Structure 1
Amino acid sequence: MREILETILLIAAIYAFVNLATARFVVDGHSMLPNFTTDQFIIVSRLTYLANDPQRGDVVVFHYPLQSDRDFIKRVIGLPGETIDILQGRVYVDGKLLDEPYIDKFCRGTSCDGQWVIGPDQYFVLGDNRGESKDSQDFGPVDREFIVGRAFVRYWPPSDWELVNHPRYDLSTAEVMPTLTPTPTATPEGTPAATSSQMAPSGVF
């Protein structure tokens, strides 16, 4: 009887630890195509950012800042203190082009340009499917407190099982953002200011 009780307590302790250390989510939507698809199940590590800061290229799950009961999955692109420019869909970090070979289509159609200055403890996040992603281009940088964790493994369906890849970037030799000369118009119109701030398994978008 004692051995049975010890086994039950051990199983309960392991289960509690796993649930504290990780979270499980199901992808819902097309914002991370082609790298994540609808109905894929992922495990997110809650422990990764206890001792480390999110890094550029990390795939993270976070609570949507404007509706905390919704969770989004995106890729970290900009870090605290950086300036992010998007020019014709291409991302420049402090004036250096970010090489993103995992992107199929960069431009969002009519919204391909913008500039954001990231504040302390904020992160600029984008979906890999830029044309169909609600991300920091819409609601600005995300405060770190909203980040649930770092995507660790994709485990369902079994044919898609793999560890999640988090690329790293070398900006030291990156192409510099071109300087644009404004084109005069007959009836100039003001442009809006750039956004600066203010995003069983649960669904992530």
Structure 2
Amino acid sequence: MRFERVAEDNKGGLGETVRVVIHALLIAFVIRTFLFQPFNIPSGSMKETLLVGDYLFVSKFSYGYSKYSFPFSPNLFEGRIMGSVPNRGDVVVFRLPREPDVDYIKRVIGLPGDRIQMIGGQVHINGTAVPRERIDDFMDNEDGRQVRTRRYRETLPNGVSYTTLDLYENGFYDNTPVYEVPQGHVFVMGDNRDNSTDSRVLSQVGPIPLDHLIGRAQVLFFSIEEGERAWAFWRWPWSIRWTRFGTLVR
């Protein structure tokens, strides 16, 4: 009798463990689908705001939901549910229009109906130059050597301020024609202006349909030095960027 009772207790404990695991997976699925989804930064197009090796949470509810908000992008409905237009300066994750299975992250510069142009490396919105101020250089580590890059503080018409990098004088997209942002679209750019494939490159990105937005970048929860592997936990004391934990994305 005693052994039978022990067997029953073990069986009940196993069942409870399975239920807890299933509930945890369901909660994680709901959070990832409707609230927050983790992403990592694989390229330097958003330096210095976001660095290679940053891991961040993106709020899925910020601009409503489209088919791209859900795993496997099911065709359950058209357009967006509870949709809203991003603010200028928001850092957004979106699906690339020409490759809908590819995620990009950039900053919103232009809204529907805007006219955007680059003149001498400076953004112009509807014919007015966006103010930018030269600040101290950005110091980056490339192949073990320190590299200086010109850095500016740019302030959009709504007061949102952030830093941009200027790698080259008269870069390829420092002077552009006027881009007219279609209705239902936004114009996005990387903060690392000479190292970003963004809405200025019509053949690859162009203006982004609102339906392709996944969400707004909110907060960093992990960051590791470029070239390091996140799973190499034995190197964490030296490879992790501890000061970036909990940093808000602005």
Sort the TM-score into its range (normalised by shorter chain).
0.7 to 0.9
Which residue does 1:132 correspond to in 2?
195
Which residue does 1:94 correspond to in 2?
126
Cα drift, residue 97 of structure 1: 2.2
Task: State the SS of the aligned residue for 1:103.
Answer: strand
Which residue does 2:209 correspond to in 1?
143
Cα drift, residue 4 of structure 1: 6.2
**Worse-superposed segment, 97-106 or 81-90:** 97-106
* 1:49 correspondence with 2:63: yes
Higher normalized contact order (CA 8 Å, seq sep 6+, divided by chain length): 1
The answer to whether the 8 Å contact 1:41/1:155 transfers is yes
Cα drift, residue 162 of structure 1: 2.7
* 1:112 correspondence with 2:180: no
Q: Deviation per CA, 1:84-137, whole angstroms, max 9, x where unpaired?
A: 121111111112222315113286613312210011110000000001000001
C-alpha distance in 1 between matches for 2:170 and 2:221: 30
Which residue does 2:39 correspond to in 1?
25
Q: 1:56 to 1:6 in 2, by over 3 A?
A: same
Between the aligned residues of both structures, percent identity stands at: 30
Cα drift, residue 32 of structure 1: 0.5
**Worse-superposed segment, 61-70 or 5-14:** 5-14
Which residue does 1:82 correspond to in 2?
114
Q: 1:108 to 1:30 in 2, by over 3 A?
A: farther
Q: 1:8 to 1:109 in 2, by over 3 A?
A: closer
Which residue does 2:28 correspond to in 1?
15
Q: 1:43 to 1:136 in 2, by over 3 A?
A: same
Which residue does 1:191 correspond to in 2?
none
C-alpha distance in 2 between matches for 1:119 and 1:131: 24
Larger Rg: 2
**Superposition RMSD on alpha carbons, in Å?**
2.2
C-alpha distance in 2 between matches for 1:92 and 1:82: 10
Q: 1:108 to 1:15 in 2, by over 3 A?
A: farther
Match of 1:34 among 48, 52, 58: 48
The answer to whether the 8 Å contact 2:112/2:185 transfers is yes
C-alpha distance in 1 between matches for 2:98 and 2:109: 20
Which residue does 1:73 correspond to in 2?
105
Query: More strand per residue: 1 or 2?
Result: 2
C-alpha distance in 2 between matches for 1:152 and 1:108: 32
The answer to whether the 8 Å contact 1:29/1:38 transfers is yes
C-alpha distance in 2 between matches for 1:119 and 1:71: 21
Task: State the SS of the aligned residue for 1:14.
Answer: helix
Gaps of 5+ in 2: 1-11, 65-81, 132-153, 155-161, 224-240
User: Normalised by the size of structure 1, how large is the TM-score?
Assistant: 0.72
Which residue does 1:161 correspond to in 2?
245
Would you say how many aligned residue pairs link Structure 1 and Structure 2?
Answer: 166
Task: State the SS of the aligned residue for 2:58.
Answer: strand
Quick one: which amino acid aligns to residue 63 of structure 2? Y
The answer to whether the 8 Å contact 1:108/1:132 transfers is no
